[in-house]
Amino acid sequence: MKRLAMTLLTFMALTPTAYSEIVTENIVYKHGDVPLEGFLAYDDSIKGERPGVLLVHEWWGLNDYVRERAKQIARLGYAAFALDMYGKGKVTKHPEQAKEWAQQLYNNMEIWQQRAQAGLKVLQKNPAVDRTRVAAIGYCFGGSTVQMLAYSGAEIKGVVSFHGSLMPPPAQPAIPVKAKVLILHGAADPLVTQEAMMKYIGDMETSGMDWQMVIFGGAKHGFTNPDADKAGMQVVGYNKDADRRSWEYMKVFFQEIFAPAPKDS
């Protein structure tokens, strides 16, 4: 009986508990001369290396929304790092300001990709991270950013774009794309026209990349952000169903890309 109980205790130790503690930390780093400040979150009760997930903020900058997402990712057992694409403290609630900051990166693809890679390096170097198992997720502007990060040939297993614009894959990638791509898209997102969506699908098929796209009926731009409606923009809106479902699909995606490759039968 004693031996049985020990076996059962071992079994239970392997199941997740509700008592894990999430540790967070602001990390200052640089891209060239630009000082940046990101946000790290991980479960302190997990010992050793674990998969790492990079998070890229919306066009507002690194705000509480993406910090909360980083903590949610940490609760899944991964090490999460929300990078900073704009510069230490550059956060806003004004669309005009957000647009200006995002535009500066849209207009310079090289800096855009390198800025994302700078954040990726911080995550990869963290001792809690198994650097062979890293993914990137992003919201809106951040969704576009993780697509661009994939196209840069970054050493990551996959990227997940939540209501990001659909970025055309490079016609001839300078270096092969290693990341699998999961696009989570709102059918009622007016920032992406039907024509743009069809062109994207065609281009992705030609690219030979490993890609999937989920289209959520009735979901607008920004469908994962409960505060989306506060911005007072017609095109954005929270959608609870699409929020919950897209998160579940992301978890399935992580299970695949962070697992050993399935054996051929």
Cβ proximity of 211 and 204 under 8 Å: yes
50 to each of 8, 11, 76, 176, how far by Cα in Å? 25, 20, 11, 25
Does 110 interact with a copy of itself (rule: CB under 8 A)? Answer: no
Closer residue to a copy of itself (CB): 1 or 174: 1
Q: Which stretch in 24-32, 83-91, 160-168, 216-224 sits in contact with a copy of itself by CB under 8 A?
A: 216-224
CA–chain centroid gap for 24, Å, is: 18
Binding mask 123-162 for a copy of itself (x = CB under 8 A): ----------------------------------------
CA 142 centroid distance within chain: 7
Other C-beta atoms closer than 10 Å to the C-beta of 75 total: 16
Candidates 57-65, 124-132, 154-162, 248-256: pick the segment binding a copy of itself (CB under 8 A): 248-256
**Binder to a copy of itself among 56, 150, 209, 231 (CB under 8 A)?**
209
Are 215 and 192 within 8 A, CB to CB? no
The answer to whether 180 and 211 are in contact (CB under 8 A) is yes
Tell me if 205 contacts a copy of itself by CB under 8 A: yes
18 contacts a copy of itself (rule: CB under 8 A): no
Task: Supply φ then ψ for residue 31, to 5 degrees.
Answer: -120, 105
The residues that touch a copy of itself, with contacts defined as CB under 8 A, are 1-2, 4-5, 8-9, 11-12, 181, 187-188, 194, 197-198, 201-202, 204-205, 209-218, 241, 244-245, 248-249, 252, 255-256, 262
